[in-house]
Amino acid sequence: VNIPASSLNPVPASPVRPAPPLRELSVGLVGPGQVGRALLDQLLAARAPLQRELRLDLRVRIVADSRRMWLDHENPSLAPDAPGTRTWYPSDLDQFGARLGALPGPVVIDCSASESVAERYASWLRAGLHVVTPNKLAISGPLERWHAIGKARDSGALLRYEATVGAGLPVVQTLRDLIATGDTLCSVEGLFSGTLAWLFDGYDGRQPFSQRVRQAREMGYTEPDPRADLDGVDVARKLVILAREAGMDLSLEDVHVQSLVPPELRELDLDACMQRLQDLDEPLARRHAAAAARGSVLRHVGRLHADGRAQVALEELPADHPLAQGRLSDNIVQFRTRRYADNPLRVQGPGAGPEVTAAGVFADLLRVAAEVRA
């Protein structure tokens, strides 16, 4: 049927809707170190697209390190070492919180590794400031403080800490989603330390283990004192964080940790310890040879069971075990739940590094923005 175009009704022009107003979140960053600076760069790069596409204005208003703090209206780039950064104040976290709390949508981002900053979470949350952090200390710290933080969240302020476990990998959020949708956790197990994953992934027993540790230290893969990686406490903290996320009252002391640091190296100062690092070699070479003779490999594994048992240890695993399939410094985290009983849900990928960690923090910040709006 031929219908003449002239007989069609003209489509009414749709009215131009004004853009919704910008919503502002005021960010205060504590700790412009490796992760903090990467985050500042990411926030700056994303500011215009977020304004355009989400109508969200993420404004970094204050930055504080352990000695100084900078305010945005005097120093818009807020990068502590940017040219022209002249105006600063002595660092004072009381003033930091008070200033930020007076601004719209205040969010503290703690990128320090400081106990004294972790001590502030409860008061910030009580005052209505949201807190986002990759710092494990408050989330895995003393139970009494953890409960005080939980109570402080009654104010409606949010606490997010995805990057404390697996840096940019979605580990905490995955567990939160499983539980929120009615699943039941049976166990979590995995390789939670990128440093230890790297050390054992390439360890073939020919190169002394101490040499691998020195190499990792030179490449910046370990903490300045490698005992902080080898003692397993950092992995234990991650298990405590996941346990608490799952509703368990677990403390660091409840985790059975098998340290790789021989007792005779524990009390030495760093230089003396580095001189005697070869004390690690013989026992690990023996364990490696025994495992290899059985077609197995050594991996540093953290395990958490639903009944609250938690352990961190060097384990012998069959070479085809899923936890033996990581690459280099991959973290691998397996959740067994009622729904994922036979075939566990697995999250795997690089679990450290300033950029991916900052991205994990940034994703948390966007979740806070979405929840605040909802």
Ligand X SMILES: NC(=O)c1ccc[n+]([C@@H]2O[C@H](COP(=O)([O-])OP(=O)(O)OC[C@H]3O[C@@H](n4cnc5c(N)ncnc54)[C@H](OP(=O)(O)O)[C@@H]3O)[C@@H](O)[C@H]2O)c1
Which residues of the shown chain bind ligand X in the complex (CB under 6 A)? 30-36, 64-67, 91, 111-114, 116-117, 134-136, 163, 167, 352-354, 357
If 0-12 CB within 10 Å is exposed, 13-18 middle and 19+ buried, where does residue 103 land?
middle
Closer to ligand X by Cβ: residue 92 or 177: 92
Among 238, 244, 299, 303, the one annotated catalytic: 238
Contact, 65 vs 116, CB < 8 A? no
Closer to ligand X by Cβ: residue 33 or 142: 33
CA distance 188 to 153: 26
Closer to ligand X by Cβ: residue 64 or 152: 64
Contact partners, residue 121, CB within 8 Å, separation at least 6: 110, 131, 138, 149, 152, 159
Query: Closest by alpha carbon to 270, among 312, 236, 222, 235?
Result: 222
Pairing of strands 330-337, 185-191: antiparallel
Per-residue CA distances from 243 to 91, 141, 167, 175, 360 (Å): 34, 13, 17, 10, 20
Closer to ligand X by Cβ: residue 97 or 134: 134
Determine the residue with CB nearest ligand X. 33
Q: Which amino acid is at 263?
A: P
Closer to ligand X by Cβ: residue 88 or 340: 88
Q: Is 136 a catalytic residue?
A: no
Other beta carbons within 10 Å of 202? 12
Contact partners, residue 18, CB within 8 Å, separation at least 6: none
Contact, 295 vs 309, CB < 8 A? no
CB 198 to ligand X: min, Å: 13
Closer to ligand X by Cβ: residue 120 or 288: 120
CB 284 to ligand X: min, Å: 25
Closer to ligand X by Cβ: residue 56 or 169: 169
CB 201 to ligand X: min, Å: 18
DSSP for 255-303, written as a single string: SEE--SS-HHHHTS-HHHHHHTGGGGHHHHHHHHHHHHHTTEEEEEEEE
Residues in the chain: 374
CA distance 170 to 367: 13
CB 309 to ligand X: min, Å: 25
CA distance 79 to 76: 8
Tokens in use for 231? 């003692």
CB 168 to ligand X: min, Å: 9
What residues act catalytically?
A: 238
